[in-house]
Structure 1
Amino acid sequence: MHGSKREDDGHSTPEPDPRSKAFPRVILSLAIVGLMVGLMIGRLTTPEERVLEQVDVVQDGLDLWFNEEPQLHGENVEGTVALVFQAEGKAQRGQLLLQGKPVGWRVQKSKEGLLLTLIAARPLQGEWSGAEDDGRWKVQVRLHE
């Protein structure tokens, strides 16, 4: 019977590995460090999401507060006012008074972003504008009949 002792290369005992046993650990450590650095760089270069932070009911309209300037598309459609913001936020609804008459508003999520709809029993027209105010972005929506 043969033992595991090396004798003239006549047995199936593997030859000793000339590489260091630390080599796989070094490669694994370099891979982990590279992954962590890549994640940190990605986190730093990713733009901050635009978020609807607050909706204020004001005289004849709404003030919407965002953390950054959102892309905005708005239309006056058949007596309603509809605005789409490329931003995140929670669904909300409420009412405001326009010349003593109620106007309903609703913010809801859509596939394009946030959809703000203002509707009343009579046809509405609206204007909107945005500006930076106190480190945040404010979109003013003003209504008239």
Structure 2
Amino acid sequence: MHGSERKDGMHSTPEEDPRPKLWPRVLGSMAIVGFTVGMIIGRLQQPAPLELEQIEELPTGLALWFNEEPKIQGDNVDGAVVLRFVAAGQPWNGQLRIDNKVARWKLERGEKGLVLTLLAARPLHGDWRTAEVDGRWRLEVSLREE
């Protein structure tokens, strides 16, 4: 076997090329540009986030106004009405009168969005429906005693 020592002024391994290696830089630059363009296109195609804009008190319940149609999960839990929806919004609370009796409501942030809880001293039952009004979505929650 031959070693890598000099023999007659020559090496057994070729000398290193003194020119810079541009191919890895070109591939890296193309990857960064492609990633950036993909992120820009993704942000442009992303829909506007669902946002709670306003809450109105009605004689029989509440009306919640959204900029897009909300997906609602609702339950009647131990006499309280609990609605969950994936939306952005500020925590609010208040009270309203149903049949001259006070019911309290509270809107708070949950794990995946907002949680609306309606509670009174007596068991409540709630019905809700959504409708599009003038380009906005209205969620109307109607309450009654059980």
TM-score normalised by length of structure 2: 0.76
Aligned to 1:6: none
Aligned to 1:90: 90
Aligned to 2:134: 134
SS at match of 1:35: helix
Q: Residue type matched to 1:86 in 2?
A: V
Unpaired runs of 5+ residues, structure 1, are: 1-8
Across the two proteins, how many residue pairs are aligned to each other? 134
Q: Residue type matched to 1:43 in 2?
A: R
SS at match of 2:47: coil
Aligned to 2:35: 35
CA distance in 2, matches of 1:15, 1:144: 85
In the TM superposition, what are the counterparts of 1:67-106 in structure 2 within 5 Å? 67-106=67-106
Kindly report the root-mean-square deviation, in angstroms, between the aligned alpha carbons of the 2 structures.
Answer: 2.4
Shift of 1:22: 8.6
Task: Summarize deviations over 1:46-71 as a string: whole Å, max 9, x none.
Answer: 23221111111111110001111121
Shift of 1:92: 0.8
Shift of 1:45: 2.6
Call closer, same or farther: CA 1:92–1:23 in 2, change over 3 Å.
same
Aligned to 2:123: 123
CA distance in 1, matches of 2:22, 2:63: 63
Aligned to 1:53: 53
Q: Give the percent of matched residue pairs that are identical in Structure 1 and Structure 2.
A: 49
